Amino acid sequence: MPMYTHTVDHKVHAFDDLKDLLAKASPARSGDYLAGIAAADYEERVAAQMALAEVPLAQFLSEALIPYEEDEVTRLIIDRHDRQAFEAVAHLTVGDFRNWLLSDLATEDALARLAPGLTPEMAAAVSKIMRVQDLILVARKCRVVTAFRTTVGLPGRLSTRLQPNHPTDDPAGVSASLVDGLMYGSGDAVIGINPATDNVGAVMTLIHMLDAIIQRYSIPTQSCVLTHVTTSIEAINRGAPLDLVFQSVAGTEAANRSFGINLGVLREGHEAALSLKRGTVGNNVMYFETGQGSALSANAHHGVDQQTCEARAYAVARAFSPFLVNTVVGFIGPEYLYDGKQIIRAGLEDHFCGKLLGVPMGCDVCYTNHAEADQNDMDMLLTLLGVAGINFVMGIPGSDDVMLNYQTTSFHDALYVRKVLGARPAPEFEAWLEGVGIFSGDGRILADKTPGLFLDSIRKLGA
């Protein structure tokens, strides 16, 4: 017996359960077709959205998409749900919730109070009936501020992860990209390297190197080597000066198992990083990455659509008060997000759902060469996310990651979006940029004269 129906012009559209309804209400994307759960045609999709708009938000608390007994992420969502915070919207349907979010009742304070009362499924549901401008307008009202050695997410600020990747982790190669990035004002969210190997010794060498550079040049930022959480724990046990613990997370227990993690392991990583007390202006110590399609690619999606699975990953993230959460939106490939249109919509959905749930969202605005996307699509997503108030984006030399073989936003791109939106770096980092003469301090962003900071080291190398 179908649980949900909607009739348009005498045609009855029926949906088996909430999971089916959410999947069919999802704006079109290749991953849901691949999973065989998408709407059959255009009309069915909108009929599903109409049916979804009638569902009371409270229904999401009694009908679990993945059974409580089978999945620790479901248990986390239900057990941590704040009924008192939910009261503000408990009487609303999904459709009315959209109206409420867009209304002036939903102020920054009201949204912050509501966040612990929302489940990821509620956020995913309402996003499915929102247009791009809705996703931007509401996300812009949500503020999630986090801190370690810089403060990220303040109004009028846009931060960047400096990503100085090198195919063999060569120290001079990493440092060359690092200098390039700092000279372009990048790196206030984190200096984060994707290492070529998960070997503990090699990871520790990189952690020590980044720590030494940060100290030598008194850079107010934090470093991260994006290795498996268990490798970071081991590095901490061996005395590494580690700032942020990294981990990829997904929205189901089975998908997380395929990453070699569970909530217990994340808790250990969180506690290990906290024990080092290395933050100066705050103690958010986790850096998570996510992305639509990860549960499906691990064959661990339980028939739940990829955007709802993604929102559930934010419930995992928020349990550990992270410093940064990054949706790596276009990395996974065209079998999950086919083209620029799908990537752009997904990036905005992820940012909206994350912020609504109280997660400090950033986005790796990116694509691979087999996706139907190009730099113009990335410019659109970057601009839209900038307007939506994204906490941070990536920064890499010339958009070309020579280690991971994909394209993400460049140092120049970040300056573009800062310039057109008047956005500034994190205050601590901005003061350093002006102090060492990288930023002019007069609103023109970069100084005319090359600052002396690294010039002696470079001159010693000869021409």
Partner 1 sequence: MSDIVTKNAWNALARFTQARIALGRAGTSLPTRPHLEFQFAHARARNAVHHPLDEQALSAALDERGIRSFVVHSAAPDRATYLQRPDLGRVPSEASKAYLGAFGASGFDVAIVVVDGLSAFAIEQNVLPFLDLLVPQLTAQGLGVAPVAVVRQGRVAIGDPIAEALGAKLVVVLIGERPGLSSPDSMGIYMTWAPAQGTTDAQRNCISNVRRDGLHYEEAVYKLMYLVSEAFRRGLSGVTLKDETASQARLAGGAGSNFLLE
* 192 DSSP β-pair partners: 224
- Which of 130, 328 has the CB closer to partner 1? 328
Report the DSSP pairing between strands 406-407 and 400-401: antiparallel
* 183 near partner 1 (CB under 8 A): yes
Interface residue with partner 1 among 3, 176, 263, 274 (CB under 8 A) is: 176
Cα gap 342→339, rounded to integer Å: 5
By CB under 8 A, tell whether 198 contacts partner 1. no
Residues 90, 387, 317, 378, CA torsion sign: positive
Q: What is the DSSP string of 269-313?
A: HHHHHHHH---SS----EEEEE-TTHHHHTT--TT--HHHHHHHH
- Does 247 appear as a known binding residue? yes
Q: With binding defined as CB under 8 A, does residue 398 bind partner 1?
A: yes
Q: Count Cβ neighbours within 10 Å for each residue of 196-234 and write b for 16 or more, e otherwise.
A: eeeebebbbbbbbbbbebbeeeebbbbbbbbbbbbbbbb
385 touches partner 1 by CB under 8 A:
no
Q: Which of 197, 237, 280, 299 binds partner 1 (CB under 8 A)?
A: 197
What residue ranges in 4-143 does DSSP mark as E strands? 4-8, 11-15
Q: Is 425 within any annotated ligand binding site?
A: no
Q: Does 54 bind partner 1 (CB under 8 A)?
A: no
Nearest to 417 by CA among 369, 384, 442, 373: 384
CB of 169 to partner 1, least distance (A): 5
Decide: is 76 part of the binding site for partner 1 (CB under 8 A): no
407 binds partner 1 (CB under 8 A): yes
Backbone φ and ψ for 442, nearest 5 degrees, come out as -115, 20
- How many angstroms separate the CA atoms of 394 and 384, rounded? 15
Q: Is 299 in the site for partner 1 (CB under 8 A)?
A: no
Contact of 328 with 365, CB cutoff 8 Å? no
- 462: contact with partner 1 by CB under 8 A: yes
> From the CB of 196, what's the least distance to partner 1, in Å?
5
Q: Does 380 bind partner 1 (CB under 8 A)?
A: no
Q: What is the DSSP annotation of 370-412?
A: TSB--HHHHHHHHHHHHHHT-SEEEEBGGGEETTTTEE--BHH
* Cα–Cα dist 444/419, whole Å: 8
Instruction: Give how many residues touch partner 1 by CB under 8 A.
Output: 68
Closest CB to partner 1 among residues 180, 289: 180
Which of 230, 258, 375, 383 binds partner 1 (CB under 8 A)? It is 375
Q: Which residues pair with 439 in a beta bridge?
A: 446
CB closer to partner 1 out of 133 and 197: 197
The answer to whether residue 290 forms part of the interface with partner 1 (CB under 8 A) is no
260 near partner 1, rule: CB under 8 A: no
Residue 363 has phi, psi (to 5 degrees) of: -145, 130
Among the listed residues 334, 362, 395, 425, the single contact to partner 1 using CB under 8 A: 334
Residue 194 interacts with partner 1 (CB under 8 A): yes or no: no
Backbone angles phi, psi at 360, to 5 degrees: -75, 85
From the list 49, 160, 177, 227, which residue makes contact with partner 1 (rule: CB under 8 A)? 177
Residue 373: CB minimum distance to partner 1, A: 10
Which segments are annotated as binding site for adenosylcob(III)alamin? 195, 247, 297, 403
Which segments are annotated as binding site for substrate? 161-163, 194, 289, 364
Q: Which residues are near partner 1 by CB under 8 A?
A: 30, 33-34, 164-180, 183-184, 196-197, 199, 201-203, 205-206, 208-209, 212-213, 216, 334-335, 338, 368-370, 374-375, 396-400, 402, 405, 407, 410, 412, 415-416, 419, 445-446, 448, 450, 454-455, 457-458, 460-463
